[in-house]
Amino acid sequence: MRPLLSATILALVATSLVSCSGSPGGSEDTDEDTGARVWRSDGYGMVISVTGKRAQTFETTSISCMPGEPLNQLGQPAPDGTVQYGSKGVAEQTLRPAPGGGATLQVLGTAADIDLLPLPGLPETCKRKTPDDPVTTFDVFWTTFAENYNSSTRKNINWAAVRDQYRPRVSAGTEPEELYTILEEMIRPLGDMHTSVAGDDGEFEGSRPGTRDLSSRAITTAVDNHLRQNLGVTAIQTFAGGKIAYIDLPGARGYLRINSFEEYSEDDTYLANKAELDRALTAVFAPERVAAWRGLVLDVRNNPGGDDALALQVAGRLTDTPYLAYTKQARNDAADPNKYSRPRRVTVTPAEGPRYTGPVRVLTSELTVSAGETFVESLMARTPAPSRIGSTTQGVFSDTLDRKLPNGWTFGLGNEDYYAPDGRSYEGPGIPPTVTTPVFTESEFAQRRDSALDSSLGAPW
């Protein structure tokens, strides 16, 4: 899934608030020392300072403050103060003023807005440079997880004990290779694909125990061979650089495979990907085809994620009635891992154009990750509800909070919870199938079988 909040993104927010200072959401509060206007995000550990039309953002913890880069607004504010921002002329987020000097930020591609709250001035930690020595780098890494990680309680993680174990190994003279090893060792036991660290000579991304490292190309080739050799398919339509495929199956059924919710275009911006996805869906959901379908198979077994908004774009083709997709919140109390921001309800909205409202079956596996999982979750309250066939999804729904360390390295973690319409969070365990079958096993590959796909087609619709 996309990084949710980078320093760049919130710099844009701050710039918008300057532009909207005369709107109902504008605030007259300023930092008396600098003349800047300052806000913090509700959760996410971000502070924004604006002087004139220059905005500076900071990634913060209780012990650190790392500056980011400013950007500029695109076009003029709307009458209500709403402004869009981006880079190289391409919009990336929308800012809407809110009462009391705050605002809401919509990061294009994400599923819900973020609240921004006014501050009287910069925190003291943002008025001085954060040292880049190994001890400070360790402390910022540990503290960021302590104040933001979404799964400490559910996974029974004693993060204080982790600090006690590893910090004595770090000193001013610790070599980069050893420091990187320590940081990796700290997060590897979390078994979380949204935890990562990237240093000068290495990069680590976690995963749930038992997750297989399979070639995406090999998976696609095996599934396509099964379709041709066992189901008599002669034509496979592909879109979005091969990330999306559609096939008409016997019995007036369709098969739509979505192997990603990102990287559909060369520049890989949300708006470019959205347009490419719309072209694919327009071709697939042709009026005559939708009228003829007796059933539709959606295959996201090999989908590592991307933009939630693109997943919702597909879900909007599968309903005539708006319904609750899920609710999401961000952790917002550094001292209490069980306190979260206000819930944000996310709705599946019927798309313009042809829509299919008949039976759907969804194929899943542990390689269904992040936005792939929020897509599955967004269909759970659909009528009729889809069957889920295959194996349990990975269990990482949160957008990734990507951060930079004082020494220049980067790392990431999940800081949000998504709740299905029944109120349950599947963060950690993943969404289980309603029908369990083997998925991408050595035996399946060797015998050129696809039990999940065959099961979806075998039972009466």
- Each residue's pLDDT tens digit, 256-307: 999 999 999 888 899 999 999 999 999 999 999 999 999 999 999 999 999 9
What is residue 23's predicted lDDT score, i.e. its pLDDT?
Answer: 36
Secondary structure (3-state) at 407: coil
In this prediction, residue 46 has a pLDDT band, given cuts at 50, 70 and 90, of confident
Tokens 């034509």 label which residue?
235
Tokens 């042709």 label which residue?
286
Neighbour count for residue 337 (Cβ, 10 Å):
19
- The pLDDT > 70 percentage for the chain reads 90
CA end-to-end span of the chain, whole Å?
33
Instruction: Specify which residues 94 forms β-bridges with.
Output: 84, 106
Domain definitions of the chain by residue range: 7-127, 134-205, 216-320+355-395+430-458
For residue 271, what are its two tokens? 């708006």
What is residue 9's predicted lDDT score, i.e. its pLDDT?
Answer: 42
Among 88-92, 228-232, 323-327, the least confident range: 88-92
- Each residue's pLDDT tens digit, 195-243: 999 999 899 999 999 999 999 999 999 999 999 999 999 999 999 999 9
Q: Given CATH 3.90.226.10, say whether it is the number of domain 216-320+355-395+430-458.
A: yes
Neighbour count for residue 286 (Cβ, 10 Å):
12
Please check whether residue 369 is in contact with residue 436, taking contact to mean a CB–CB distance below 8 angstroms: no
Overall average pLDDT of the 367-375 stretch: 98
- For residues 357 and 335, give the distance between their C-alpha atoms in angstroms, rounded to a whole number: 46
CA distances from 306 to 4, 101, 399 (A): 11, 32, 9
What is the secondary structure of 4-40 as a DSSP string? S--HHHHHHHHHHHHHTTTSTT------TTT--EEEE
pLDDT at 41 over 70: yes
- For residues 452 and 255, give the distance between their C-alpha atoms in angstroms, rounded to a whole number: 13
Q: Look at phi and psi of residue 428 and say left if phi exceeds 0, alpha if psi is from -120 to 50, else beta.
A: left
What is residue 430's predicted lDDT score, i.e. its pLDDT?
Answer: 98
Higher pLDDT residue, 52 or 60? 60
What is residue 88's predicted lDDT score, i.e. its pLDDT?
Answer: 74
Higher pLDDT residue, 255 or 12? 255
What is residue 306's predicted lDDT score, i.e. its pLDDT?
Answer: 97
- For residues 165 and 186, give the distance between their C-alpha atoms in angstroms, rounded to a whole number: 9
Please classify residue 228 by burial: count the beta carbons closer than 10 Å to its beta carbon, then call 0-12 exposed, 13-18 middle and 19+ buried: middle
